[in-house]
Amino acid sequence: MMLFVSTDGAVRTPSAASASEAAAIHPTRLRLLQVATRLFQQRGYHAVGLAEILALSETPKGSLYHHFPGGKQELAEACITRISASTMAALDDASASGADIIAFLQKLGAESAAWLERTDWRDGSLLAVVGQEHGGGDGPLADAVRIAYQRIEMRLAKWLMLEGVAVARARDIAATIIAAHEGAMLLARCRRDNTPVSLTTAMLCAMVERG
């Protein structure tokens, strides 16, 4: 249950992608997406050069521009929509399995903390990093982040409504969860210390419980 980050960015030995995408995605394309996502979520869009992405994924430049004619920007866009898709899928799974929101929040907090520690606080949220760099702008990347957050919020809100929360309140709670969780990940990363994540998780649980 990891939201906002990609955990499959192993280098040269791409872990098996989720079944749905393994069927359709070209191996080179997948490798590029995994490595690029990993690097972008560590350092941001502008801080990572194509040279590094190509070297770590052992891919020649020609292949990149074959699979992503739009170059670096299209690659980053694809990374964002891929993270967005996997996050929504995770939310749907959790919702379908009948878990309640409180359990979900606690699991999210625990696994986020574990992930941060496991990466030595190097990896953050791709959406947050790119979002910070592009803010309220109007480029393709800013749009991709905007849409990703919107869709994730909608899934979360839908789930909350399934649990009986009123429509307007569900959307509010969803947005609050996303904002607080992203902020907690950031602060935890900067401080190399997970307490912001657990504190925020507790606060979010309290908010949801009070309705």
Partner DNA sequence: CAAGCGCTAGACGGATCGGTCTATGATGCT
Partner DNA sequence: AGCATCATAGACCGATCCGTCTAGCGCTTG
Residues that bind a copy of itself (CB under 8 A): 42-47, 116, 120-124, 127-129, 131-137, 142, 145-146, 149-150, 172, 175-176, 178-184, 186-192, 195-196, 199-200, 203, 206-207, 210
Instruction: Please report whether residue 72 would count as binding DNA according to CB under 7 A.
Output: yes
**Residue with smaller CB distance to DNA, 50 or 85:** 50
| Token pair recorded at residue 62 | 């020609």
Instruction: Please report whether residue 61 would count as binding DNA according to CB under 7 A.
Output: yes
Closest C-alpha among 10, 121, 28, 136 to residue 78: 28
Applying CB under 7 A, the span of 10-18, 50-58, 143-151, 170-178 interacting with DNA comes to 50-58
Whether the Cβ atoms of residue 170 and residue 160 lie closer than 8 Å to each other = yes
Q: Which helix (H) or strand (E) holds 127?
A: helix 126-134
User: Cα(173)–Cα(204) distance, rounded to whole angstroms?
Assistant: 9
133 binds, among DNA, a copy of itself, none (CB under 5 to 8 A by kind): a copy of itself
Amino acid of residue 10 = A
Instruction: Please report whether residue 73 would count as binding DNA according to CB under 7 A.
Output: yes
**Residue with smaller CB distance to DNA, 73 or 81:** 73
- Angle between the N-to-C axes of helices 140-162 and 167-191, in degrees from 0 to 180, rounded to the nearest 10: 120
Among 71, 137, 166, 191, binds DNA (CB under 7 A): 71
Judged by CB under 7 A, the chain residues 14 through 33 that form the site for DNA are 26-28
DSSP 3-state assignment of 25?
A: coil
| Token pair recorded at residue 197 | 């994540």
Instruction: Please report whether residue 44 would count as binding DNA according to CB under 7 A.
Output: no
